[in-house]
A and B are shown apart, each in its own frame.
Chain A
């Protein structure tokens, strides 16, 4: 069977539905609505039209030779999801799930968010479709991504700062699931990544796989062939699965996921789930996760809020287990240096999340050499990260620094 044909609930040993019984009816309802929508040309047409006239699809590709000069001479091509409306790939999935919300007749949506990109995208879709919207965001993240909090509120969403546990993305997911258990009759949960219980990993992947489908053809049109390697950052894994998927059955194309290495995977402060974790059950699916001996989730650490997650989507765990994709860690510092390098050499400021993929591409280019072509998913833009970058590189005037 083609790897691309794999569907949920299981990807090899990974996936499933480890959820309270109270959520099963809602997951079944969502899954059935999605299965019907997939077969309905009107749904596909409406989503494609939103992509064209609202998101700005297809997103372009940009070759970046001045950046690539630091990557062993390999050609580096960026897939520009940063140019999408709302500034990241997250909008692709959100528009699909918002259309589904309308089809199942629910009037309220909830979502979790880490960096705020998925929250902003969900709040945007809620404004567009006239849905009530509540976003759960870890308290730590509301502080380091204050600009996105303001954006969501301006869009009409209620933002709830989650103060339990590690006060980051994993706890925001817990609280969103608690909300869903309580309000399931009126509420749809617009999940932001390819983790979680079935049908989310498959459905979110399907809404994101347009990234790779477009990019595959665009790279062929530009270079006359397939890329040597595809690189993307991996938190929960939605942008990476989105760009990987079209290439899964192209055996000659190497796929690399770059996890957040934080202070370094030899320390305890990282979010390198596949590199350093082991299989377990978190947030409704069996997948790799960071956990202690007793199965308690270990708090992850990353300078990038969007990658600061101790789990990963089950399809990635499967792709790693079967050897189809390779997952490597990139430290905070390597990502920040790559962020500045792309900015200085090409005038493109990437999100810190995407900068992990850029740092990975620099490493890959040196390994693969000048004959290689590396396609990098530039999943988001860096506007939201200016405060973090300004502090990291000491860009504020000293008197304004505090």
Chain B
């Protein structure tokens, strides 16, 4: 199974760290979303975070909401998510994590979801509205299948919850850089640095920082202290305004931020 841990370690050995790129399945169309994911890998993104469109995405800002609503209006079905993983992993070596709100997994069946994701070549799940406290079934299914599971840590998380996120995650812990929803910000909050320090002190094997990162300079800044930088809304915006070519160009630009000093 192509999990994310080895990729993050390798990128931290040979470069500043890993670049993780988010794109939703089915936006602007299913085929273009696959092409866009392939393109950002070919342009230097190390790990794909593939979002499944959902009707009530409480962690998402306006750019991603607009994209996923369009994907839903275009008729997105859960099965498309597995098909997208299959097509992307056939063409590029980067691990593909699915980012999904929890109810679609519950309705599909947690074990069935894990089996189908593993069969499609997926690396695991990022679960923005599932905290480890509620995740017993998913932890069991991911242990069984070997899938990565990425939980979130926030600047407001207590020390006990930081430790729980570290202990429950496999692959990396998603450090939410700033208090807020997804969307590009002009400065990545200093809280991110403190949060990653706390995760490291709790023996996190890897912390990747997301929410608000949109430029190569921000990627470079985050990689000074974290093992990975996650870019979402900026890529989705590039795809929305300039298509596959534009999102590839932005990925190449962002990848410059991963180069070792």
In angstroms, Cα B179 to Cα A170, docked, is: 22
Docked-complex contact B151 and A280, CB < 8 angstroms: no
In angstroms, Cα B106 to Cα A182, docked, is: 27
Chain B: CB-nearest residue to A281: B103
- Does any Cβ of A come within 8 Å of B145's Cβ? no
State which of B19-27, B49-57, B249-257 sits at the interface with chain A.
B49-57
- Does any Cβ of A come within 8 Å of B74's Cβ? no
Among A270-328, those with CB < 8 Å from B are 280-284, 291, 293-297
In angstroms, Cα B88 to Cα A340, docked, is: 60
With a 10 A CB-CB cut-off, give which of B57, B58, B133 has the most chain A CB atoms.
Answer: B58
The number of residues on chain A lying at the interface, defined by a beta carbon within 8 Å of a beta carbon of chain B, is: 34
Docked-complex contact A165 and B157, CB < 8 angstroms: no
- Does any Cβ of B come within 8 Å of A119's Cβ? no
With a 10 A CB-CB cut-off, give which of B108, B153, B181 has the most chain A CB atoms.
Answer: B181
Contact of B78 among A177, A281, A294 (CB under 8 A): A294
Chain A: CB-nearest residue to B62: A164
Docked-complex contact B108 and A24, CB < 8 angstroms: no
In angstroms, Cα B58 to Cα A18, docked, is: 11
In angstroms, Cα B60 to Cα A138, docked, is: 18
Query: Which B residues lie within 8 Å of A19 (CB)?
Result: 58, 129, 131
- Does any Cβ of B come within 8 Å of A21's Cβ? yes
Among A9-48, those with CB < 8 Å from B are 16-22, 24-26, 28
Docked-complex contact A182 and B181, CB < 8 angstroms: yes
Query: Which A residues lie within 8 Å of B61 (CB)?
Result: 178
In angstroms, Cα B56 to Cα A24, docked, is: 19
Chain A: CB-nearest residue to B211: A22
- Does any Cβ of A come within 8 Å of B104's Cβ? yes
Docked-complex contact B179 and A164, CB < 8 angstroms: no
In angstroms, Cα B155 to Cα A26, docked, is: 12
Binding site for A on B (CB under 8 A): 54-59, 61, 65, 69, 72, 77-78, 102-108, 128-131, 133-134, 151-154, 156-158, 161, 165, 176, 179-181
8 smallest beta-carbon distances between A and B, as pairs: A295-B107, A25-B156, A295-B104, A182-B180, A22-B154, A21-B152, A295-B103, A297-B55
Beyond A18-B102, A184-B179, 7 additional pairs, beta carbon < 8 A: A18-B129, A19-B129, A21-B152, A165-B55, A178-B181, A185-B156, A281-B106
Q: Could you give 25 example pairs across A and B, Cβ below 8 Å?
A: A17-B131, A17-B133, A18-B134, A19-B131, A20-B128, A21-B152, A21-B157, A21-B161, A22-B152, A25-B154, A165-B55, A170-B56, A181-B58, A181-B180, A181-B181, A182-B179, A182-B181, A185-B156, A282-B56, A294-B77, A294-B107, A294-B108, A295-B54, A295-B105, A296-B55
